[in-house]
């Protein structure tokens, strides 16, 4: 059986080797397409039974070109790039690899925050994280890693997650919150870890950001779609003390950069999970999950049930 790894953003070399080992050891064949075009994907998927991707868009058209496809594993957490309804209609199991790249994303949160608090290392006087408050929006795997690291900075930590019981949040030494208004009005830093869903898309905008205390910093390592960009631009215009850092280039990045210069920072390409360790962990987990599904239907992390 053929397992296709299709990644616009390639895995680190060691991860690719480890994925190949897992697939070959199971007696299956690996095809690797890195930085491929849409056409490359449609061609390569024709005879694939398993597919491993990252943020690559896998929609109904791809599935229509893949009559043998049984399982897609998104090597990572967010699966908004995969059309789950179409997958279900095609009888394809879709899984993610929860937790495998979450430390990498959490470390980047602080990488970007410290850089912003030190004025992008331009030699001027900056500010510290110690004693400041951090609000974590969604207390999943990334949110929990962010809390763990924030403790080392001696920050006050609060989290909002309607799906996680207060006791679980408290057990991590974090104060549970119950409204998004509290999250924004009480915290110097707000770090977003919500998935992109119909409910969350465009949900972070003017009204919420304007509630932030003086010198507030909004951090987005989630998805650009959760931001109402026009609303955020308006808030940044009215509040010259506010800053925005994002691991996802906004659709209107040029406007942000032109208007706000050093008050905003965007990675050129989503790179929260782009570490040797995260690539290895998520890639190997994805390979093992594809093989386990093809072998005996193992589907612990299926997201289209
Ligand atoms: C995820 O959802 O796992 C992260 O956003 C990482 O995405 P990537 O694999 O495209 O880097």
Q: Is 57 in the pocket of ligand 1 (CB under 6 A)?
A: no
Q: What contacts 83, CB < 8 A, 6 or more positions away?
A: 58, 59, 60, 63
Q: What contacts 108, CB < 8 A, 6 or more positions away?
A: 221, 247, 267, 271, 272
Spacing, Cα 4 to ligand 1 middle (Å): 18
**Residues 292-305: b if buried by 16+ CB within 10 A, e if exposed:** bbbeeebbebbbbe
Spacing, Cα 114 to ligand 1 middle (Å): 22
| DSSP state string for 199-211 | TTTT-BSHHHHHT
- The CATH number fitting domain 2-100+275-296, selected from 3.40.50.720, 3.30.70.330, 2.30.30.100, 3.30.530.20: 3.40.50.720
Atom of ligand 1 nearest to the CA of 76: 3
Mind listing the pLDDT tens digit of every residue in the chain (305 residues)?
Answer: 999 999 999 999 999 999 999 999 999 999 999 999 999 999 999 999 999 999 999 999 999 999 999 999 999 999 999 999 999 999 999 999 999 999 999 999 999 999 999 999 999 999 999 999 999 999 999 999 999 999 999 999 999 999 999 999 999 999 999 999 999 999 999 999 999 999 999 999 999 999 999 999 999 999 999 999 999 999 999 999 999 999 989 999 999 999 999 999 999 999 999 999 999 999 999 999 999 999 999 999 999 98
Q: Which residue has the tokens 């199971």?
A: 26
Spacing, Cα 55 to ligand 1 middle (Å): 6
For the whole model, what pTM was predicted?
0.95
At residue 11, φ and ψ (nearest 5 deg) are -70, 160
Q: Are 145 and 103 in contact (CB under 8 A)?
A: yes
CATH 3.40.50.720 fits 102-266, yes or no: yes
Q: Which of 273, 278, 286, 301 most suits a substitution to test ligand 1, by most atoms within 8 Å of the C-beta?
A: 273
Atom of ligand 1 nearest to the CA of 78: 2
Cα→Cα distances 78→61, 75, 102, 196, Å: 20, 9, 11, 8
Q: Structural domain boundaries of the chain?
A: 2-100+275-296, 102-266
Nearest-CA residue for atom 9 of ligand 1: 54
Q: Are 2-100+275-296 and 102-266 equal in CATH topology?
A: yes
């Amino acid at each position: 059986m053929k397992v296709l790894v299709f990644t616009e953003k390639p895995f680190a070399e060691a991860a690719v080797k480890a994925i190949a080992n897992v697939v070959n050891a199971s007696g299956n064949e690996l095809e690797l397409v890195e930085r491929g075009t849409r056409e490359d994907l449609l061609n390569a998927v024709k005879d694939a039974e398993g597919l491993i991707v990252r943020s690559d868009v896998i929609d109904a058209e791809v599935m229509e070109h893949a009559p043998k496809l049984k399982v897609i594993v998104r090597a990572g957490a967010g699966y908004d790039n995969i059309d789950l309804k179409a997958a279900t209609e095609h009888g394809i199991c879709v899984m993610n690899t929860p937790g495998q790249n979450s430390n990498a994303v959490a470390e980047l949160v602080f990488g970007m925050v410290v850089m912003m608090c030190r004025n992008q290392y331009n030699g001027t006087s900056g500010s510290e994280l110690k004693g400041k408050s951090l609000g974590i929006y969604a207390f999943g795997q990334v949110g929990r890693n962010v809390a763990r690291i924030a403790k080392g900075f001696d920050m006050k930590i609060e989290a909002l997650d309607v799906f996680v019981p207060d006791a679980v949040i408290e057990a991590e030494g974090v104060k549970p919150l119950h409204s998004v208004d509290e999250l924004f009005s009480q915290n110097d830093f707000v770090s977003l870890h919500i998935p992109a869903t119909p409910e969350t898309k465009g949900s972070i905008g003017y009204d919420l950001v304007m509630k932030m205390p003086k010198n507030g910093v909004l951090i987005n390592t989630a998805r650009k779609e959760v931001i109402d960009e026009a609303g955020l631009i308006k808030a940044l215009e009215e509040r010259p003390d506010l800053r925005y850092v994002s691991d996802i280039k906004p659709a209107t990045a040029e406007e942000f950069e032109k208007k706000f210069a050093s008050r905003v920072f965007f990675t050129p390409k989503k790179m929260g999970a782009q570490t040797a360790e995260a690539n290895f962990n998520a890639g190997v987990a994805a390979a093992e999950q594809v093989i386990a599904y093809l072998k005996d239907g193992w589907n612990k992390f299926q997201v289209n049930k």
